[in-house]
Chains A and B, each alone.
Chain A
Amino acid sequence: MALAVNILGNQRRTWALAMQAEFEAARDDGRELMFALGCFLAACRELPRHEEGRFAIASHALALMLFVPVAAFLLSSVLTGFPGSYLGHAGGSGLLEISSEQGPLLNEANRSAVPSLLLIVSLLAGLNLRIAWLAVESDWARLTRVGALSAAATATLVIFSAVVFGDHSVALAQLAALVVQLSAAAALARWHGRLRCAASFYP
């Protein structure tokens, strides 16, 4: 019932209270579980019909389809390398070996910088997951700070890879992804701001 009430939001507050009141009657009848489950399903069906629900769907979709996949890609790259790039397969497992698959720009001189690079990429993966969580929580103040940290880490990655490896294709791809992510988060934040303004007019 608590989930159903939360999902219904401000625009269906009256119906949420009505369901809660009837839940007591269902409990007297011993049918509270089925009643609550039905209310939860009814609330889910209502989600796309009101703006708060559409916002919730959008923020979760953005988290699951943009931020989390980028984090997963970065983490898997740390473990298995960046095939097709100057790093080749110089992932976590590749650090222990010297092989011709480790990319054309890697040599003994700059190979020792790979662990630092992987550390920055791991940090970026963690920050992506944090941004996903904050977007779902609509915590825009914290998301802004984490976004700034991501931007700083990405800038470090760009400079680092350009100086040490002479190639920043991977870093620029991450920069492009970050721009897309933060733009999407900014659009969500503006939408959330409009919802909060509208909610302040509800009695």
Chain B
Amino acid sequence: MRPQEWRHGYDLLKETGLLSGTLYPLLMRMTDHGLVEAEWREPAQRGRPARHAYRLTSTGLALARAAGEDTQSPSFKASPA
């Protein structure tokens, strides 16, 4: 994964396996809290609308790395199903 790469919403959908009903509220929340930034990109095909692209901010990246270290630490125990 390249966390600083810009990604479109539908591509994120396919990479994460999340549904749009889950992904978009997450993106909205993370953007509101400054963890994700968004910008408009010109479409690859003519006649299509401009697309929103997203990537983690430095704050979001630091949080993701901290969360990743927490899950990899020996003291971390996954909750039972």
Interface on chain A toward B: helix, strand, loop, or mixed SS?
helix
Determine whether A7 belongs to the interface, using a CB cutoff of 8 Å to chain B: no
B19–A24 contact, CB under 8 A?
no
A contact residues, range: 20 to 34
Q: Are A18 and B21 in contact (CB under 8 A)?
A: no
Interface size, chain B (Cβ < 8 Å): 21
Inter-chain contacts of B23 with A (CB < 8 A): 38, 42
Instruction: Contact check, B8 vs A25: say whether CB atoms are below 8 A apart.
Output: yes
A38-B49 CB under 8 A given contacts A12-B28, A22-B8 = no
A12 to B27, CA, bound (A): 12
- The answer on a CB contact under 8 Å between B51 and A21 is yes
Q: How far is the CA of A25 from the CA of B11 in the complex (A)?
A: 9
B58 to chain A, nearest CB (A): 22
Q: How many residue pairs bridge A and B at CB < 8 Å?
A: 68
Question: A22-B8, A39-B20 known; A45 and B25 CB under 8 Å?
Answer: yes
Q: Do A38 and B20 have beta carbons less than 8 Å apart?
A: yes
- Nearest-neighbour CB distance to chain A for B32, whole angstroms, equals 9
Bound state CA distance, A46 and B25, in angstroms?
A: 8
In the bound complex, CA of A24 to CA of B43 (Å): 11
Nearest to B27 among chain A residues (CB) is: A15
A144 at the interface (CB under 8 A from B): no
Known A45-B25, A46-B25: A21·B49 in contact at CB below 8 Å: yes
List residues of chain B with CB within 8 A of the CB of A41: 21
Q: Are A34 and B49 in contact (CB under 8 A)?
A: no
- Give the residues in chain A near B24, CB-CB below 8 Å: 15, 19, 38-39, 42
CB proximity of B34 to chain A, nearest CB, Å = 16
Q: What string of 1s and 0s marks CB contacts (under 8 Å) between B23-51 and chain A? A: 11101100000000010000100001111
Confirm or deny: A62 has a beta carbon within 8 angstroms of a beta carbon on chain B: no
Cβ of A37 within 8 Å of any chain B Cβ, yes or no, is yes
Which residue of A15, A24, A46 contacts B49 across the interface (Cβ within 8 Å)? Answer: A24
A26 to B20, CA, bound (A): 10
Q: Which residues of B contact A46 (CB under 8 A)?
A: 25, 28
CB of B6 closer than 8 Å to a CB of A: no
Find residues 28-67 in chain A having any chain B CB closer than 8 Å to their own CB: 29, 34-35, 37-42, 45-46
Given contacts A22-B10, A26-B10, A46-B28, contact A34 B20 (CB under 8 A): yes
Query: Which residues of chain B are near A42, meaning CB under 8 Å?
Result: 20-25, 28
Q: Is A177 part of the binding interface, using a Cβ–Cβ cutoff of 8 Å?
A: no
Minimum C-beta distance from B16 to chain A (A): 13
Verify A15–B51 contact, CB threshold 8 A.
Answer: no
